[in-house]
Amino acid sequence: MYVTHAKHTRHKSLVACIACVIDTAKVCWFAIVLVVAMDLTAASGLATVPAGYIDASTFDYNTTDATAALQAAIDTGSNVYVPNLGTDWNITPITLTHSNQEIRFESGVVIAAKSGAFQNVDDALFSATNQSNIKLTGYGATLKMQKSDYQQSPYTAGEWRHGINLLDVSGFEISGLTIRDTGGDAIYVGTQTQTGFSQDITIRDVRLDNNHRQGISIISVENMTIDNATILNTNGTAPEAGIDFEVNYQTQRIKNVQVSNTVIQANNTWGILFAGYADLTAGPISVAIDHVTILGNHADGIRMYEPLPQVTITDSLIVGNDGYGVRGTPVTNELILGEIEGTGSPRNLIEFSALWSNTDGAHTGWTKLGTGSMTNVEPIFYSLDPDSPYFLYLDPTTPTTILHGASDGNYIGARPMFTAIPEPGSVGLLAVSALWILRPSRHRHRI
């Protein structure tokens, strides 16, 4: 009797378990059907086009070469929506021909440089000249070129096959995009003339990866913001920096540039480079660097070849670089005399920042540690994986002098402290389209 009862109990438990599985399966199948339907909708070109935009795929989209469709849509002057059709948009160089326009790329879109094209050394994926008020918006979208192809025959070697090439533009905004594998810079900001400049430029929430010459080249600009960028793995041809500030002529300018909340990692030379002329006719170079993490670059974290009194460095982590954390222009008797007499260029102050484990030392040249800076405190990162949503977040075990050492009492560096996420058993829907429940393994990383 006892045995029979036990079997019956197990039977009821099994039935309950199966019922639970069936109910769960219904939910899962519903989610899967929803995801498949969403994917089929995108693949069939039926994605919802936002009001006020035209659908670029309706201009005779071709999977082999989508240049004509995309260029025709842009040439209308209307706001353009580029849908995710499930295949790459393979293109040859595109020219932005109208001001007052937004090109919005749907999440998942890949704009790819067509293989075999871009034979001219200055062919860029997107170019704009003398245009104003343009937005390239693409959260979850990618612009990619064929870098490895350009580095070998039959291509002529060059360093100007940029992802986005901006000349004498104003009011230009780039946001949300990944730009990778270019044959030059991910983004070039400059001018066509010896005295011209671009102005009012915003680069926000971008990832610039594995570009040939630079992540961003800034040649001549007034009023520019770089916010929440990730710039990494630049390699191919010199200078190979994350960001290069470098005018070509003394009559050009670099004025009022802000670099904030940005990660610059594993570039083949400097994290941030200041090269070219410094004594400019339009006034001194002025750049504010704050809440930036410069990590593991293969030369100095920041390199300045000339005295640059209006370049400021605050609230930043400069760690693990293969040179100095910050290398200023060499100290000379003239600079020292000017400092004593109060008539010369002041040293570059590094304030409320942590410089740790840079191969050659924390800083050198015409630089000085200011208020709140430290060289003996080690940051600990929660993740060193660039694909992790917690990339270079500070681990909670990081010393409080970094977690609360910024000028405003908050964290130093580009990323905040990691905070707990749900433990196993706690369900969180983080990405409906992939049905992901994300919980990264806990790894602390010291530099």
- Longest Cα pair distance anywhere in the chain, in angstroms? 104
DSSP run (H or E) holding 89: strand 89-91
Amino acid at 87: T
Degrees, nearest 5: CA angle 253-258-260? 150
User: What pTM did the predictor assign?
Assistant: 0.86
pLDDT tens-digit profile of 117-161? 999 999 999 999 999 999 999 999 999 999 999 999 999 999 999
Cα 414 to Cα 276: distance, rounded to the nearest angstrom: 27
Is residue 379 within 8 Å of residue 394, measured between CB atoms?
Answer: yes
What are the φ and ψ backbone dihedral angles of 249, each rounded to 5 degrees?
-140, 150
pLDDT of 420 reads: 72
List per-block mean pLDDT (blocks of 10 residues) for the chain, which spans 447 residues: 33 38 41 40 63 98 97 98 98 98 98 98 98 98 98 96 98 98 98 98 98 98 98 98 98 98 98 95 97 98 96 98 98 94 94 98 97 97 96 97 97 94 42 29 52
- The Cα–Cα gap between 114 and 152 comes to 16
The partner residues of 203 in beta bridges, in order of sequence, read 174, 226
Q: 50-277+293-299 has which CATH code?
A: 2.160.20.10
The reported pLDDT for the residue numbered 53 is 98
What angle is formed at CA 325 by the lines to CA 321 and CA 330, rounded to 5 degrees? 125
3-state DSSP percent of the chain in helix, strand and coil, to 5: 15, 35, 50
Q: What is the pLDDT of residue 421?
A: 62
Tokens representing residue 261 in the block: 């909340």
343: left (phi over 0), alpha (psi -120 to 50) or beta: alpha
CB 371 within 8 A of CB 390: no
pLDDT at 438: 31
> What does residue 7 show for φ and ψ, rounded to 5 degrees?
-65, -40
- Residue among 407, 380, 384, 378 nearest 396 (CA): 380
Cα distance between residue 105 and residue 51, in whole Å: 14
Q: What is the DSSP letter of 56?
A: G
Domain limits of the chain? Answer: 1-44, 50-277+293-299, 379-447
Q: Which residues lie across from 348 on neighbouring strands?
A: 367
pLDDT score for 237: 97
